[in-house]
Amino acid sequence: MADDGVFHRMMTRRRLLAAASAAAAGAALSRPAWAQSMIDLPLPDGPGARQITTSFPQKGPMILQRTRPPLLETPFEVFDKGVFTPNNQFYVRWHWALIPTDIDTDKFALTVRGHVNQTLSLSLNDILHGLPSVQLSAVNQCSGNSRGFFQPRVPGGEWANGAMGNALWTGVRLKDVLDKAGVKPGAVQVRFKGLEEPVVADAPHFVKSLDIDHARDGEVMIAFAMNGEQLPLLNGFPLRLIVPGWYATYWVKMLNDIEVLNQPDTNYWTKVAYTIPDTPYASIKPGEAGVKMIPINRMVPRSFVTNMASGSKVNAAAPLRGIAFGGDCGVAGVDYSIDRGQSWRQAQLGKDEGKYGFRQWQTQLALPAPGKYSLLIRCTNSNGVAQPDTPNWNPAGFMRNVVESIDIIAA
């Protein structure tokens, strides 16, 4: 059972200094210009200290995982505010450092080419005003969200639980765009590329592919708006692929090139990177070799407490609430346990904003006696899949979805 808290202890460097030495109290009063807010992510064996940065354009306070290329994590308390994650605190994840920072909407074009009847070059005007627009709320979650909680630890972006977000996406159906170009018989996959470029010339450009039937399912879309506004540049302005129910690696940012393929894609990012063991929960034993690997694909259910930090002192009758998502389908139920999983009770689900989005849940705790409790939270999705009670493990740190637990003390 994982015992990571979903909340993280906030502290300021100023406060750290004050704790370290009495002399620092003077410095604290003068509020030095370099004082920065810090957070301590509860990653097993650390390091958990991260800066809270406000240096990134169009973004509010974010947990700095890496400056270049940017990896910015959503501070977890944001998820308590509602099911839609604000654009300015939506997490950010880029692979390559050469990211265009100047996008002229009059010059931008999306190319559709390959195994099609006619190659298209679509302007933003063609896309916004020439095709029916559709809306969908969906969770975008990094394959490696929560990687920092893997034990044994694995290399990669050492995220806590904030490499995810839910937004109301507005855009056009990918199917409509493909139909406009006319997919030829024999097409098997569709490959997507954005404007980011590797620093090293012969390094593999970031591209991802979907099977042709998936690409034409009418749900996969090209978004030009997120929560009713244009996307922040770091979240993929002006166009981003939306693949509901699938991990964010497929949600190509700054999408400007769509290539219909008549043979399976063998590029590095689909064939080698972002692969998982073809086992239940994508889980293997550390060191286990010779396992068949497949591209990561559908998401799995998760749920979190959002109104209490691990270690909190609470009233015996405190309200408890959080968010859940079903992964590749809706949420059927969220259950919680106050007795380490011996018995489970149902939480009440909030409004359904769409099966691929976050769903709020809430309940009223009734803790029988003062003392310590370990609360467990478990989502079961509408396909009947529940979160497992033991953590998965794989060398890339993908697809964590163990039942979450928080430790609280009843007054």
Partner 1 sequence: MFLNLLPVLVVLCVASTPLAARAATTFELKSVKIDLPDSDRMFPEGPGSDAINNNCLACHSAGMVLNQPALSKQAWTAEVNKMINNYKAPVAPEDVGTIVDYLTALKGAK
Binding site residues, partner 1, CB under 8 A: 43, 45-47, 50, 53, 55-58, 64-71, 96-97, 99, 101-106, 124, 128-136, 148, 153, 155, 157-158, 170, 173, 198-200, 202-204, 218-219, 221, 224-225, 230, 233, 237-238, 244, 268, 272-273, 352, 354-356
In angstroms, what is the minimal distance from the CB of 376 to partner 1? 26
Nearest residue (CB) to partner 1, 244 versus 301: 244
364 CB-contact burial (10 Å; exposed 0-12 / middle 13-18 / buried 19+): exposed
Residue carrying the six token digits 């009440």: 348
Handedness of CA 267, 269, 273, 279 (dihedral sign): negative
Q: Enter the DSSP assignment of 89.
A: G
Token pair in block for residue 184: 């030829």
Classified as helix, coil or strand, 368 is coil
In angstroms, what is the minimal distance from the CB of 55 to partner 1? 4
Q: Taking the mean position of all CA atoms in its chain, how far away is CA 293?
A: 22
Of 136, 137, 133, 206, nearest to 165 by C-alpha is 137
In angstroms, what is the minimal distance from the CB of 247 to partner 1? 18
Nearest residue (CB) to partner 1, 202 versus 290: 202
Nearest residue (CB) to partner 1, 94 versus 250: 94
Q: Taking the mean position of all CA atoms in its chain, how far away is CA 55?
A: 21
Nearest residue (CB) to partner 1, 57 versus 384: 57
Q: What is the number of other CB atoms lying within 10 angstroms of the CB of residue 395?
A: 18
Q: What's the CA gap between 321 and 361, in Å, rounded?
A: 6
Between the alpha carbon of residue 34 and those of residues 61, 178, 287, 340, the distances in Å are 16, 51, 43, 44
Nearest residue (CB) to partner 1, 135 versus 263: 135
In angstroms, what is the minimal distance from the CB of 245 to partner 1? 10
In angstroms, what is the minimal distance from the CB of 294 to partner 1? 18
In angstroms, what is the minimal distance from the CB of 161 to partner 1? 16
Nearest residue (CB) to partner 1, 73 versus 336: 73
Q: Enter the DSSP assignment of 393.
A: -
CA dihedral 36, 37, 41, 46 (to 10 degrees): 30
Q: What's the CA gap between 251 and 296, in Å, rounded?
A: 13
Nearest residue (CB) to partner 1, 218 versus 370: 218
In angstroms, what is the minimal distance from the CB of 196 to partner 1? 12
Nearest residue (CB) to partner 1, 173 versus 191: 173
In angstroms, what is the minimal distance from the CB of 199 to partner 1? 5
3-state SS track over 41-84: CCCCCCCCEEEEECCCCCCCCEEEEECCCCEEECCHHHHHCCCC
